Chains A and B, each alone.
Chain A
Amino acid sequence: MQIVWEYRQLLLGGVRITLIVTVLAAVVAVLMSFASGLARESRHRILRVPAIIYVELFRGTSLLAQLFWLFFVLPSFGIELPALACGVLAIGLCNGAYGSEIVRGALRSVPRGQREAAIALNYSPAQSFRLIVLPQAARVMAPLFGSLFIEILKASSLVSLITLPDLTFQAKNIILVHLNTTAVLSTVLVVYFVIALFISGGAQRIERALSRGVDHTAG
């Protein structure tokens, strides 16, 4: 464990990058999830078709291929993004395509009677969505987005392959200089696990706050 202590500054710097990539990519993913999830439920083809193409394309190709594409190929089209932007965009866009399904499923999970009651009470479509459908869908979404954020955290390790000095990158660097690797890699795994615990703990708290008073077994 001495080696971990010796390199603590380096590793902590790596944790910082890991957190930055995770948070920014999560923001991109949430935005894309809602944009594409709502667009796919739209009545208009002009909104539905691009959303379907986005989801299929980013779910069908490998995240690492997307990451490499942004990092290695895009510059030859004259667009040179910094490594951080490549990482955040690739991870955010790819996971947004998965999040699209979360948003869609959650919206569909709200019973039809809820929308009918909103019509009967003369809510406008926008009010019905904001006041009735969304709060109920959010309850379904919270734990699923929690899992998605953990996938994003894990995916953030891939930015080490495009030279971004995150936790995995630093661990790999230390390994290359030293022979004793067990301590470093075990520590890194535990650090990821702890961050993931924080994420799922947070998601649980949000879910509990959203389902205040609501008994899942009834009504």
Chain B
Amino acid sequence: MEFSFDLLWEILPQLLRATVVTIEATLAGFAISLIVGLVMVSGMRARQRWLRFLSRFAMEFLRATPLLVQVYFLFFVLPGFGITLSPFLTGVTALGLHYGAYAAEAYRAGLESVPRGQWEAAVSLNYSRLAAYRHIVLPQALPPIVPSLGNIAISMLKDTPILAAVTVTELMFVANEIGSERFQYTEPVTAAALIYLVLSLAAAPLINFIDRRLRPEETRA
């Protein structure tokens, strides 16, 4: 068995087009997860007990069940309630919900990393709750959150192949399709795996760069 570079060259344009879909799905899913996470963490810090419980439960449930089944759930169950989304939108929503739970956890950890004394100082200076968040707490909570969010984005990138299960024409779907058409899986699947590797290796320095830009002067190495 050998690796055919001719075949690789022939299918590369198809794979790269599919890679664009993969990147789009990752970015859209990431945007949704940032918002979902924010809603969940707000719920977890709410004054109402039931809301705190509900948010906590939603977060635990979304994190403990497989993304694949969540995708199926949205894909097969929502139409029964009269909501019909395209496969892409279904997949991206599922990604956003699943990783929104992880984003919520990252936000929570960041907020809790701000020492109590900072809150107490804000109260002693008579800041309102909102002003304390805006001027005192968030500027300190954000830097540690950024790397976690970066990891979430990379995880999402590597989970986009799951959307193939509901016929989203992302990279893995196309690679698999080529394979079954030509009875030749070696080139498309290997190439797809390498493209994921390149994308996640490229993402890491990008996240580092953003992280460094956001980090306040005093904590820079």
Contact = CB atoms under 8 A, between A and B. Distances in A.
- Are any A and B Cβ atoms less than 8 Å apart in their complex? yes
Interface stretch (A29-37, A54-62, A103-111, A208-216): A54-62
B72 A175 contact: yes
Contact of B72 (A78, A153, A158, A171): A171
A73 interface: yes
Interface residues of B, number: 38
Nearest to A57: B197
Interface string B158-177: 11111011000000100110
A64 B69 contact: no
Interface stretch (B44-52, B137-145, B183-191): B183-191
B119 interface: no
B196 A185 contact: no
B99 to A, nearest CB: 12
A175 B69 contact: no
B125 interface: no
A182 B194 CA distance: 37
A168 B185 contact: no
Interface string B45-71: 000000000000000010111111110
Nearest to A63: B158
Contacts of A181: 76-77, 80
Contacts of A49: none
Interface stretch (A2-10, A122-130, A132-140, A188-196): A188-196
B1 interface: yes
A197 interface: yes
Nearest to B74: A185
Most B Cβ at <10 Å: residue of A154, A160, A193 = A154
Contacts of B66: 153-158, 168, 192
Nearest to B72: A185
Contacts of A77: 1
Most B Cβ at <10 Å: residue of A65, A69, A161, A181 = A65
A175 B76 contact: yes
Contacts of A153: 66
B189 A158 contact: no
B194 A61 contact: yes
5 contacts: A57-B197, A60-B197, A161-B68, A175-B76, A185-B69
Interface of A: 56-57, 59-66, 68-69, 72-73, 76-78, 150, 153-158, 160-161, 168, 171-172, 175, 181-182, 185-186, 188-189, 192-193, 196-197, 200
Interface of B: 1, 61, 63-70, 72-73, 76-77, 80, 157-162, 164-165, 172, 175-176, 179, 185-186, 189-190, 192-194, 196-197, 200-201
- Which are the 10 A-B pairs with shortest beta-carbon distances? A196-B64, A72-B185, A157-B66, A64-B161, A65-B193, A62-B158, A60-B197, A154-B66, A181-B76, A61-B193
